[in-house]
Amino acid sequence: MIPAASFLKVLESHGVTDVVGLPDNSSAALFALLGGNGVRLRTVTREGEAFALATGLWIGGAHPVVLIQNTGLLESGDALRGTAMRMRIPLVCIVTYRGFAKMMRTFGGVPETCDAALLSRPDVDSVAVVTEPTLRAWGMPFERLEAAADLPRVDAAFARSAELQSPVGLLLTCDLQAAPAC
């Protein structure tokens, strides 16, 4: 797990003004921390809206990130492609990776090929199987965050996004952890 407070500090260190997205179980701890500090929380009803809103915020001078689940990433593909990527918006997209652990236990990695037989298997979450291949097909660079030791990859994602003037993905393969109860 990655402490949500540590993750938020990294976002703040990059001048993030807004987190735009839809909460899920993996990101709930971070969503709970937002709004009470300098980073504004902007929730949307559909993930495709997140890319349009983040793009508008960036055009207006803000420094947003998008935070959605991989299922929502697939739902929002046209908004990502047609807005943020086409307009060359330097946007870090944090994507929680539903089904990653089960896929790794089952296959030991991301399967090389994908077909109807693989996507219909009841022992894996098909969205995990198509997440990385989809990002590659869209030409969106990404890295995985698997533990707190990977937090420096967030810095690298911001640098790469600025360098490329394009969205860059961070695939969050574990849950963000709330602070321990007192």
Task: Read off the pLDDT of residues 61-80 as tens digits, 9 standing for 90 and up.
Answer: 999 999 999 999 999 988 99
Does 155 have pLDDT greater than 80? yes
What span, in angstroms and rounded, lies between the C-alpha atoms of 112 and 65?
Answer: 30
112, part of any domain: no
113, part of any domain: no
Interstrand relation of 168-172 and 142-145 (parallel, antiparallel or unpaired): parallel
110, part of any domain: no
Identify the pLDDT of residue 178: 86
Question: How open is the CA angle 18-59-169, to the nearest 5 degrees?
Answer: 55
Q: Residue 165, class by beta-carbon neighbours within 10 Å (0-12 exposed, 13-18 middle, 19+ buried)? A: exposed
Q: For 96-149, how does the pLDDT look when each residue is reduced to its tens digit (9 = 90+)?
A: 999 999 999 999 999 988 899 999 999 999 999 999 999 999 999 999 999 999
- Our count of domains for the chain comes to 1
Q: Which domain holds residue 94?
A: 2-98+139-177
Average pLDDT, the chain: 93
38, part of any domain: yes
In contact, 174 and 151? CB cutoff 8 Å: no
Instruction: Label residue 182 by pLDDT band (50, 70, 90).
Output: very low
Q: What is the pTM of this model?
A: 0.93
Question: Using N-to-C axis directions, what is the helix angle for 126-138 and 100-107, rounded to 10°?
Answer: 100
Q: What's the CATH code of the domain at 94? A: 3.40.50.970
Length of the chain: 182
Instruction: Label residue 180 by pLDDT band (50, 70, 90).
Output: low
